[in-house]
Amino acid sequence: MSEFAIDEMYASLGISREVYAFGKRAEEELKERFARIQETCEYNQLKVIRAMQECRVSAECFQSGTGYGYNDCGRDVLEEVYAHVFHTEAALVRAQITCGTHALAVALFGNLRPGDELLSISGKPYDTLEEVIGIRPSRGSLAEYGVTYRQVDLLEDGSFDFEKIRQAVTPATRMVEIQRSKGYQTRPTLSVDAIAKAIRFVKDIRPDILVLVDNCYGEFVECAEPSDFGADMTVGSLIKNPGGGLAPIGGYIAGTKECIENAACRLTTPGLGREVGASLGVNRSFFQGLFLAPSVVAGALKGAIFAANLFERLGFRVVPDGKEERHDIIQAVEFGTPEGLTAFCEGIQAAAPVDSYVRPEPWAMPGYDSDVIMAAGAFIQGSSIELSADGPLKPPYAAYFQGGLTWEHAKLGILKALQYLCGRGIVNREDL
């Protein structure tokens, strides 16, 4: 296909020649970096295939379990596959886990008891976890059950403050929580290597302390996962990276057998644990989504890097910057004004295959302390591995861009967002 034809196709989708050419120049300069992403993708793809082969995935695994879910072989084999992929003793992978926050809550409530202390060593956790912990008062929080909470903030450069971590650990400290991704903050995402060092540090202080890693948005970005380095639990959502855009719901917890059994008894009920919980027809989507996940994540990573380079050139602060190594799929772009954040999200929505004609509006979303604007024309509601962008309506008015089931869609979304910013006069066309 000729360059002229592609140019015209973008024009038919509302992308001006100036915006298209600006993106094309940036894309040309990223070829070597994109090639390295493909190498990681290939490694992770082979890792997933090997796990599926070793666990003897068969056509019978795609059958639907109902009722109690006893002897749901597909569900059980899927959990074996996750344990193999994450190199853990066991895993809990269930449609009954409604989101990433729920997966984290199950892991926390299942393994903490009254009088225990939870210590975050990566600063304030993601907004929706605040009410789970009880940082913001909420019904049924850990605080109401007598679990205390403290945190150690990261250093200004985004690294762990090891000296303060050592001082913070007390005899009551039962679990250390590490959040890999930035959430609604503009700090660096933590690399697997940095998390590995923190895990070793904590275990050297007290080997019995449980380490939980919130792995949301980080799966398959690198060749290793935090569970490869001694995390007792690695937790995430299936409508993010590992679901590959096909999982309609669900979450996972991969870790030690003891921790997984405890979490399962919290998810279902003591005495039944992992034995119940029917798959209800989602097994095929879960298996196939995991199979596709490395490729989908690679496309999302390319989109994030492309966005960082485009908006950095235009003078916006981006986190990570255009040259940094990537450890999750999220790209933050600071606009400094609510108008910039809103225009960016409107552009992302306009590039969607679903609900492209809808204009996103800020609203008081449950679990957040300010209005939030969210753009997501997704096949799965709330699926963050699909092209989406969101951000709280408060300074620094940063948009958090992620996803794109394909690189091509991510590219279109970024160009469309830039087009909207140009249309509102927030970006000058002369700067392209």
Contact of 97 with 250, CB cutoff 8 Å: yes
Question: What CATH number should be reported for the domain holding residue 326?
Answer: 3.90.1150.60
3-state secondary structure 316-345: CEEECCCCCCCCCCCEEEECCCHHHHHHHH
In the numeric block, the tokens 């690679």 are attached to 298
- The residue ranges of the chain whose pLDDT is under 70 are 1-3, 367
Q: What is the pLDDT of residue 3?
A: 56
pTM, 2 dp = 0.95
Q: What sections of 217-337 are H helices per DSSP? A: 257-267, 283-313
Q: What is the pLDDT of residue 162?
A: 98
For the chain, how many structural domains are there in total? 2
Mapped onto helix, strand or coil, the DSSP state of residue 108 is: helix
Q: Which secondary-structure segment (H or E) carries 117?
A: strand 117-120
Which residue range is the domain that position 323 belongs to?
3-43+291-431
In the numeric block, the tokens 């096949």 are attached to 379
The tens digit of pLDDT for each residue in 135-158 reads: 999 999 999 999 999 999 999 999
The residue type found at 278 is A
Q: Are residues 110 and 244 in the same domain?
A: yes
The tens digit of pLDDT for each residue in 227-239 reads: 999 999 999 999 9
Domain final residue, candidates 255, 285, 315: 285
Query: What mean pLDDT, rounded, does the chain reach?
Result: 95
Q: Are residues 331 and 231 in the same domain?
A: no
Q: Are residues 116 and 162 in the same domain?
A: yes
Residue 188 belongs to some domain of the structure: yes
Residue 51 belongs to some domain of the structure: no
Q: Are residues 199 and 328 in the same domain?
A: no
Q: Are residues 300 and 280 in the same domain?
A: no
Cβ neighbour number for residue 369 with a 10 Å cutoff: 12
Q: What is the pLDDT of residue 366?
A: 75
Q: Are residues 255 and 335 in the same domain?
A: no
Q: Which two tokens stand for residue 319?
A: 């986190």
Residue 206 belongs to some domain of the structure: yes
Q: What is the pLDDT of residue 268?
A: 97
Residue 56 belongs to some domain of the structure: no
Domain final residue, candidates 285, 306, 336: 285
